Structure 1
Amino acid sequence: MTFAAYLTNIEKQTGVSPDEFVRLARARGLTAPGTRATAITDWLKSEYGLGHGHAMAIVKLLKDRGVLT
C-alpha cells in the first residue's frame, strides 16, 4: 500500500483530511519542538480510533510537511 493510499484510508475512516490533521495537531500543541511520536499516536488512537500504523502515517505526514521536527 502506498503512503497516499494510507492517507486516503485514514480520511475515509475518520472524515478528517491530511491538511486538517496538520491543523489539529498544531492546535493541540503537538508540533512543538521535542514532541514525541507517542503523544501524537496516543491522541490519534484515542480520539479517532486509528491503529498504530495509520497513526504513524500521520506522524510521517507531520514530519514530511515540516511541522514536526
Structure 2
Amino acid sequence: MITEAQLLADIALVSEIILEHGEKYAPLLDRLEQELEARRRDDPINRARRHLQQLDRRDSSTQGAV
C-alpha cells in the first residue's frame, strides 16, 4: 500500500514534471490529489482532529464577544 508520505512525494515529482513538460501530465496530478484527499477525508483520526480544531476556532472567536 502506498503511504501518504509517498503520495506527497509523487505529487511533488509530478508537479515538477508539469512545470518542465507541460499540462499534458495534469491528469496524473489530479489523480494523486484525489487519492490524497480521499485518504485524509476517510481517516477517522484526521476527521476527528479537524472537527475539534473547528470547534476550538469557533469557541475562540466567540470568547471576545460581549
Computing the radius of gyration over CA atoms, which structure comes out larger, 1 or 2? 2
TM-score by length of 2: 0.29
Please report the TM-score for the alignment, with normalisation by the length of structure 1. Answer: 0.28
Which structure has more helix as a fraction of its residues? 2
